[in-house]
Structure 1
Amino acid sequence: MNNTLYEFGMVGLGVMGRNLALNMADHGVAVIGLDLDPEKAGALETEAGAGKPVRGTTSAEEFVKSIRRPRALMLLVPAGKPVDMVIASLLPLLEPGDIIVDGGNSYFPDTDRRVTELAEKGIHFFGMGISGGEKGARFGPSMMPGGNREAYERLRPTFEAVAAKVNGEPCVTYLGNGSAGNYVKMVHNGIEYGIMQLIAETYDLLKRGLNFSDEELQAVFEQWNQTELQSFLIEITGEILKKEDEVTGKRLVSVISDRARSKGTGKWTSQNAMDLQAPVPSIDMAVLMRDMSKYKEERVEAAKLLPNHTLGASTVAQRDELVNHLRNAFYFAMVSTYAQGMAQLRLASEAYNYGLQLQEVAKIWRGGCIIRAVCLEDFRQAYDKNPELPNLLLDPKIGKDLLDRQQDIRSILKLAIDKGMPMPAFMASLSYFDAYRSETLPTNLIQAQRDYFGAHTYERIDQEGLFHTQWS
């Protein structure tokens, strides 16, 4: 094997890098891995099994020389400075035409910088989002590459071989120029934040608001995964709620701290959405609620000082009806969240010249990724019918689905308000829908206020131009 020219190189043999390399080997792609840890480098061949076209090394020189030209190599190292450090170490060994793919969650402006810097040296740089976690990397992720279109052809056969498949179609495609891949993955993660918060709010209403038992809670999510809510996140929620803690014998989720952590991609989505003037309130609230979770000590004190006496169980008959309303409410809020994220992608594509095709984005999210769900096929069809669709809510079928369910989310939110239950992502999802379909918003008053205190001027509905009034 030492004299083999490998098809692909993998830098970083941690969990994701190792599993993706093994996935490539399983599909007959000859892959060589590079890691400074001799144990990780040596374990790659052993884990792949005899006869697989895979090898590990600790030598950067050997690694680069072993990849066929133009070389294609992927970095799976922590985002930020480690990416720049690895690029700097490999660059003297590379040649014009070679391709570096960053498979981590890099912030998209960093990717744009690297694309420009490496292009000056004749090296193609790709930022590629990978979704699916450890299992997805091993058996088929969703992959979101962006960069030079012609150079992608060198990568395409390998990526299509290892990606998840839906109806035989690989969950990977060329997305667009520059940082398009990292940007799409960032918004993917923002939508992920939103849906996870919606699930958490659903769980909270059922558990604290309606006193559902652990068994009843688990059954709800397991049943919902057989409906139009079928998705990876609903599926794993049902599995999580089954798991017992080996120490206490309780359901494991009940002994897990409610201080949530994050790595920043949700925050980046919200921050950039504000730059683009793309409203994504459900994602914003999901980010804010993770922040709120960190104030545990203050929340404990507030619970004593500001007690909630409205929590309690409902009758069984009411529960059954409420679960049905809640299922429809969740569908409404979930679709609203997807619509916000996809609308942000459309605006970003125009602002950053990505050339995104949203039907292709929906298509590759149908399998392998964390936000995969059966409703993504409806989204793909909507964009296939109208590639210029500005918002999923304007698709007749999707719009009707939400109209049919709007009373359900309103009744659930009324219940939550009466019980003092926080459901901000649900509320934001409904408010987005109501605002988007409002022909007239009260921002005329805001325009008048701005002109009153700051002479910022305003526009009129009956004349062109900008106007200022002496209000007092």
Structure 2
Amino acid sequence: MALCDIGLIGLGTMGSALSLNIAEKGFDIAVWNRRTKVTHAFKAEAGELADKIIATETYEELIAALKSPRAIILMVPAGGPVDDQIAQLRPLLDPEDMIIDAGNANFHNTRTRAASGEPFIGIGVSGGEDGARHGPSIMGGGPKESWDSVAHILEAISAKYEGQPCATWMGPDGAGHFVKAVHNGIEYADMQMIAEVYGIMRDGMGMDAAAIGGVFEAWNKGPLQSYLIEISGEVAKAIDPKTGGAMLDAIVDAAGQKGTGRWTAIEAQHLAAPVPAIEAAVAARNLSSRRDARALGEELFGAAPKHLPHETLSIDTLEQALIAGKILCYAQGFVMLSAASEEFQWSLPLPAIAEVWREGCIIRSAMLNDMSEALTEDPERNLMFAPYFSDHLKKNHGALRQVVAQAALHGLAAPALLSGLSYFDTMRTARGTANMIQGQRDFFGRHSFVHIDGSEGQHGPWAD
């Protein structure tokens, strides 16, 4: 075999899938894993793609197998393992050789690594194992010339939307990993809202999992058409081979997380970018793990969920509420992207971000094409104010209000939907209640306030 086009370190689930994708698209790839037997087993099991793969046992073998200037993808756990790999590779590489971190890195770490000045890019890869194998959404960050040197490979392996690659350079240093983090934050909120609507159907309306699956399948043919709605239908209809009952009914209600949603919520606070639906979703996952405490609460206070009176809510009302909630959580995510773009001087291409998310990634949705068009018209405008989405909100926010109200009255937790509604109501209220907060701050700390006539540095009569 001739020298390979690219190298990859880390043959876990994602690394293996991505390597096969690269080979399938016609590129020769050299791979390395810390366990040599895994490396050789990977090549042995690659079938007809094995001829495109070189299995290496040392860093020196890996580097020698690559065309110069070299490019090596890291698919290892975020944090220390990435730094360890970089530290071991750099002394063996030529100055023009590039390292590509394709894991779920914290964008601050990516910025630090990029500051070394050595060729390095960080790319966010979304789509899970299936996406990595057949076409993920790829969000790149780093020097534009470094991205351009491998863009032909990354675009080839990415998902395609009507022939357009879902792989784009987002900006310098940590821009790609930041966009991926916000993607995951939106993912958290979207999943939580779906779970809340599932809970209302299950606990409030007495529907079984199969019937709920049928609802999701029907919704996936309308405005809510998306990957998450699609798989929610499949999950709800699946049968547990152990019990013969619904798979959903056999799954412990404690949600896992790898930290990216939490990073999004934390960074939103630093940026003063309001993302209440995402924050509520992160909190809900944390609460889900408190199973013993929740059991104690039910024993002490009685079970919260109560059946809704007949015809209190309809399936159509739930669909409309979820449409409104979905728009609001995406709007919050793009507001955060805009704030980061200004803070870090990235000039993030917001319309292109929506386009990259149209296929391959977890939050791919029929709405993203309209979001891209709205952001092209006015990238500074909150998506909820764009005509297409404001029309949807005018039509559907009443349903969201009904769902949240009935959920609260009947003990059905719906924190993300509630946070979305509160965000909507705050953003449609020209004069809110922060004047009281400013009055309080001035009273106890003489922090001053802006008078309604425009004069600044004012104090109330209590200051005397």
TM normalised by structure 1 equals 0.95
1:139 matched to 2:128? The reply is: no
2:13 is matched with: 15
Query: What is the rounded CA distance, in whole Å, between the counterparts of 2:345 and 2:380 in structure 1?
Result: 18
Equivalent residue of 1:408, what SS?
helix
Residue type at the aligned position of 1:295: R
How big is the shift at 1:313? 5.5
1:78 is matched with: 77
Aligned residues: 462
1:240 matched to 2:235? The reply is: yes
1:424 is matched with: 415
2:292 is matched with: 297
2:451 is matched with: 460
TM normalised by structure 2 equals 0.97
How big is the shift at 1:251? 1.0
How big is the shift at 1:259? 1.7
1:378 matched to 2:370? The reply is: yes
Deviations 1:345-378 (A, max 9, x none): 0000110111101000000000000000100011
Determine if contact 1:282/1:425 at 8 Å carries over to the other structure: yes
1:411 matched to 2:410? The reply is: no
Equivalent residue for 1:445, pick from 436, 444, 458: 436
Judge which range, 255-264 or 18-27, deviates more: 255-264
Unaligned residue ranges in structure 2 (runs of 5+) = none
Deviations 1:364-398 (A, max 9, x none): 00000000010001101111222x33310121111
Determine if contact 1:25/1:48 at 8 Å carries over to the other structure: no
How big is the shift at 1:314? 4.5
- Residues 125 and 201 of structure 1, relative CA distance in 2, 3 Å threshold: same
1:29 is matched with: 27
1:362 is matched with: 354
Equivalent residue of 2:279, what SS?
helix
How big is the shift at 1:110? 0.6
Deviations 1:237-287 (A, max 9, x none): 111112211221121211211122211111111111011110000000001
1:340 matched to 2:339? The reply is: no
Deviations 1:125-177 (A, max 9, x none): 11111000011000000011100001111110000110000100011011101
Q: CA RMSD in A?
A: 1.4
- Residues 248 and 431 of structure 1, relative CA distance in 2, 3 Å threshold: same
Give percent identity, aligned residues only.
39
1:45 is matched with: 43
Alignment of 1:135-174 (within 5 A): 135-174=130-169
Query: What is the rounded CA distance, in whole Å, between the counterparts of 2:96 and 2:457 in structure 1?
Result: 53
Judge which range, 43-52 or 206-215, deviates more: 43-52
Determine if contact 2:6/2:70 at 8 Å carries over to the other structure: yes
Runs of 4+ residues over 3 Å off in structure 1:
none
2:301 is matched with: 306
1:213 is matched with: 208
Alignment of 1:252-263 (within 5 A): 252-263=247-258
Query: What is the rounded CA distance, in whole Å, between the counterparts of 2:397 and 2:152 in structure 1?
Result: 45
Query: What is the rounded CA distance, in whole Å, between the counterparts of 1:438 and 1:70 in structure 2?
Result: 56
Determine if contact 2:240/2:247 at 8 Å carries over to the other structure: yes
Query: What is the rounded CA distance, in whole Å, between the counterparts of 1:201 and 1:50 in structure 2?
Result: 45
How big is the shift at 1:309? 7.2
Determine if contact 1:14/1:40 at 8 Å carries over to the other structure: no
2:344 is matched with: 352
Equivalent residue of 2:63, what SS?
helix
- Residues 58 and 360 of structure 1, relative CA distance in 2, 3 Å threshold: same
Deviations 1:299-356 (A, max 9, x none): 11211221247712654xx27x610000010010011000000100000011011110
Residue type at the aligned position of 1:43: A
Residue type at the aligned position of 1:145: G
1:329 matched to 2:326? The reply is: no
- Residues 423 and 59 of structure 1, relative CA distance in 2, 3 Å threshold: same
How big is the shift at 1:226? 1.0
Equivalent residue of 2:404, what SS?
helix
Equivalent residue of 1:433, what SS?
helix
Unaligned residue ranges in structure 1 (runs of 5+) = none
